Amino acid sequence: MTDLVALSVLPVSYVFYIRKANQSLNDFQPVFFKRPATSGIVLVSIFAFTATSHEEDRKISIDKKYELDMNIAEFENRVKNTKSFEILKFEKETEAFPSNQYPNVKTDPNGYYLFFDLQEEYCESKKLRIFISLKFENKVVINSSNLDYWCPNPPSDEDKQNVNAIFEREVIEKLRQNNPQ
């Protein structure tokens, strides 16, 4: 709503500009008109630049471990072949935090990070952005998961349950299938 009000200033400013451009340099304008008009334009401009609204980025953490009976190559292949996943990054912990650049960060040579978008609508989002931390120890173990989505309200308990259900249905179950869709 505030965006529309801010945009409504544009036609007024255009008319003001045209009038100013058509005035000759010899026209007299009283000082009492110049300062209030300038002040008004400044106030309206400040409002126009600051009165914008945006949806809030919301984060939900899933504190549950998931075990997938497959090797890391099979896991990576399933992730890449799942049509509803848009992979942003999949890398080993040691590649994300090389010891020569991050000497104080402990990394696990069997640890991986997966960062992707799930094409699933929730609240006002067209997709859920998902970050997964996992390890491979004879099977894939997902240690932690964070899901970001965009919504004007902070996550409720119901939101947490719904997003958790979406994660289990659209991510975990699809990865467990031999032929993920």
Output the pLDDT for position 33.
53
Q: Are 113 and 86 in a shared domain? A: yes
Range with the poorest average pLDDT among 7-11, 143-147, 151-155, 170-174: 7-11
Output the pLDDT for position 25.
47
The pLDDT mean for the chain works out to: 80
Tell me if 159 is assigned to some domain.
yes
Tell me if 15 is assigned to some domain.
yes
Give mean pLDDT, residues 166-171.
92
Residue 120's nearest CA partner among 155, 160, 88, 163 is 163
Tell me if 24 is assigned to some domain.
yes
Q: Are 164 and 128 in a shared domain? A: yes
What pTM did the predictor assign?
0.64
Position with higher pLDDT, 18 vs 148 = 148
Residue at a domain's end among 31, 50, 69: 50
Domain span at residue 163? 56-176
Output the pLDDT for position 12.
64
Q: Are 76 and 159 in a shared domain? A: yes
Give mean pLDDT, residues 47-73.
77
Please list, in sequence order, all residues whose beta carbon lies within 8 angstroms of the beta carbon of residue 88, skipping any fewer than 6 positions away: 115, 116, 117, 129
Total count of domains within the chain: 2
Position with higher pLDDT, 166 vs 33 = 166
Tell me if 181 is assigned to some domain.
no
Give mean pLDDT, residues 43-50.
64
Q: Are 169 and 139 in a shared domain? A: yes
Q: Are 44 and 126 in a shared domain? A: no
Residue 32 has pLDDT above 50, yes or no: no
Q: Are 74 and 40 in a shared domain? A: no
Residue 6 has pLDDT above 70, yes or no: no
Range with the poorest average pLDDT among 27-31, 64-68, 124-128, 145-149: 27-31
CATH number of the domain that residue 68 is part of: 3.30.530
Q: What is the pLDDT of residues 105-130, one digit of tens each?
A: 999 999 999 999 998 888 888 888 99
- The strand pair at 140-151 and 128-136 is best described as antiparallel
What does the H/E/C string look like for the chain? CHHHHHHCHHHHHHHHHHHHHHCCCCCCCCHHHHHHHHHHHHHHHHHHHHCCCCCEEEEEEECCCEEECCCHHHHHHHHHHCCCEEEEEEEEHHHHCCCCCCCCCCCCCCEEEEEEEECCCECCECCEEEEEEEEECCCEEEEEEEEEEEECCCCCHHHHHHHHHHHHHHHHHHHHCCCCC
Output the pLDDT for position 28.
52
